[in-house]
Chain A
Amino acid sequence: MATNTCKEFLNHLELWMEGERHPDAQAHLGSCTSCRNLVEDLNNIHQQARSWNLEEMNLSPRVWEALRFQLEQEGLIRSNDPSQPESSTAGWFSRWFRILPRPVMAGAYLTVLIVAAFALMKPIDKQINEARWLNGTQVSTTPLHAQLNTEQKVVYSLPNTNPVVTASLQKNMAIVDNYISLCEKSVREEPQNEVARDYLYDAYQQKADLLAQMTERGENAQ
């Protein structure tokens, strides 16, 4: 139960916590357990808050990557590092992916390929074997793989205008090839699994789409 003296003490409490020791407040604290507990609680809260030190803070590097990307997009910063060509498509492409969380990155990567395929619509192999898959007559993936690899050799022999962009596309091709390897492994292990076959088909389609982009670039260069 609060007493008048306790109420008076409360009027001094804010200053007390700031370190100002009024004699009346000091006298009251000496005799009132309630108010001593109150002061102790407030000190505990203050101490605990102070112990939330900065060492615990692990700020993801993604924040800076995203921030830098945004600043570049807005034209607010320029890089002094000649090893990073800021204006190149490849730089933009790779940084765009770097700032995204991994699951988003995977999704975005596939989306970009699909969108690019629709945009460029270079019909290298878009129709390849689709009917065979749909009719269930595609028993082996080897012909598809071989066909795409042949296309790849042709595309890689084409001239290009920007080695940085080409290097980036080739890097992306390596990622798609890895994806294909994984899908092929799944199909080999479970040949009747329709989902695995769909994934493999998607993977080949991505490769075809990427080849289409690279061909487009080669033709532009001529």
Chain B
Amino acid sequence: MPEADAIRLAQQGDAAAFERLYRLHSRRVYSLCLRMVGNTAEAEDLTQEAFLQLFRKISTFRGESAFSTWLHRLAVNVVLMKLRKKSGTETSLDEMTEPDEESGGPRRDFGGPDLRLSGSVDRVNLQRAVEQLPPGYKSVFVLHDVQGYEHNEIAEIMQCSIGNSKSQLHKARMRLRELLHEALRDQARENRKAASADSGSEG
């Protein structure tokens, strides 16, 4: 069943159409949720919640934007709401970033030869770093770099300007680099400690 037919039938309450729409989009929505929260059980709950909201509102869908964009907007909002609740504070999207104190831009970090990340950007490290991103950065990074959305689509999903989407993505990547460097340094420190403990016990 083509998506357009499934949407029309779902608007009439057809169970098979709902399932079709779910099968078409659920993995992508789940992927988004999982990358945002880093926990499978939570990501499943959020996926369910996003689809529930979608199906509750499906009769209002008029096709002004792509269906997947509309769905992803709902999913991002569901996840952001969850993250806000988790942090225990109500924050606006603008506050969910970490501007540089002096310039309002990302904190600037220059990579020296000793700080190169090459080879150390594995999935586990990156997932850990993504989890530490402020929600606003995280949303744009996951939508663009993981899910492959273009900035104009992200702007629609996040209801922001294209420039804002680009800027948030850049800040997110820069922050991720810092976080990955911190993890590398911590790892190196641990290794040194372990090595000195070993040499101490041998001597």
Residues of A within 8 A of B48 (CB): 63, 66-67, 70
Residues of B within 8 A of A2 (CB): 108, 110
Docked-complex contact A45 and B30, CB < 8 angstroms:
no
Complex Cα distance, B180 from A40, in Å, reads 14
Distance from B53 Cβ to chain A, minimum over Cβ atoms (Å): 11
Complex Cα distance, B26 from A34, in Å, reads 42
Q: A34's contact among B18, B31, B112, B117, by CB below 8 Å, is which?
A: B112
Distance from B66 Cβ to chain A, minimum over Cβ atoms (Å): 18
Docked-complex contact B111 and A50, CB < 8 angstroms:
no
Residues of A within 8 A of B118 (CB): 40-41, 44
Docked-complex contact A48 and B126, CB < 8 angstroms:
yes
Docked-complex contact B146 and A50, CB < 8 angstroms:
yes
Complex Cα distance, B26 from A90, in Å, reads 28
Confirm or deny: A71 has a beta carbon within 8 angstroms of a beta carbon on chain B: yes
Docked-complex contact B56 and A74, CB < 8 angstroms:
yes
B40-64 interface mask toward A, CB cutoff 8 Å, 1 = contact, 0 = none?
0000100110011001100000000
For the side of the interface on A, what is the size category?
35 or more
Docked-complex contact B13 and A59, CB < 8 angstroms:
no
Q: A40's contact among B26, B116, B146, B176, by CB below 8 Å, is which?
A: B116
Docked-complex contact A57 and B27, CB < 8 angstroms:
yes
A1-60 contacts to B (CB < 8 Å): 1-2, 6-7, 10, 13-14, 17-18, 33-35, 37-38, 40-42, 44-52, 54, 57, 59-60
Confirm or deny: B14 has a beta carbon within 8 angstroms of a beta carbon on chain A: yes
Q: Which of B28, B108, B111 has the most A CB atoms < 10 Å from its CB?
A: B111
Docked-complex contact B47 and A77, CB < 8 angstroms:
no
Give B125's nearest chain A residue, CB to CB: A48
Confirm or deny: A122 has a beta carbon within 8 angstroms of a beta carbon on chain B: no
Give B172's nearest chain A residue, CB to CB: A45
Docked-complex contact B145 and A50, CB < 8 angstroms:
yes
Q: How many residues on B have C-beta within 8 angstroms of the other chain's C-beta atoms?
A: 48
Docked-complex contact A14 and B56, CB < 8 angstroms:
no
Distance from B147 Cβ to chain A, minimum over Cβ atoms (Å): 9
Confirm or deny: A79 has a beta carbon within 8 angstroms of a beta carbon on chain B: yes
Complex Cα distance, B31 from A44, in Å, reads 20
Residues of A within 8 A of B22 (CB): 64, 67
Residues of B within 8 A of A37 (CB): 111-113, 115-116
Residues of B within 8 A of A34 (CB): 110-113
Distance from A63 Cβ to chain B, minimum over Cβ atoms (Å): 5
Complex Cα distance, B167 from A42, in Å, reads 14
B156-203 contacts to A (CB < 8 Å): 166-167, 170, 173-174, 176-177, 180
Confirm or deny: A132 has a beta carbon within 8 angstroms of a beta carbon on chain B: no
Docked-complex contact A59 and B47, CB < 8 angstroms:
yes
Docked-complex contact B51 and A38, CB < 8 angstroms:
no
Q: Closest 6 A-B residue pairs measured CB to CB?
A: A49-B145, A37-B111, A14-B170, A41-B117, A77-B15, A79-B15
A42-B173, A45-B173, A63-B26 given; 18 more Cβ-contact pairs under 8 Å:
A2-B108, A14-B167, A34-B111, A34-B112, A35-B111, A37-B113, A38-B111, A45-B121, A45-B177, A46-B173, A57-B27, A57-B30, A59-B27, A67-B52, A68-B15, A68-B18, A76-B56, A77-B15
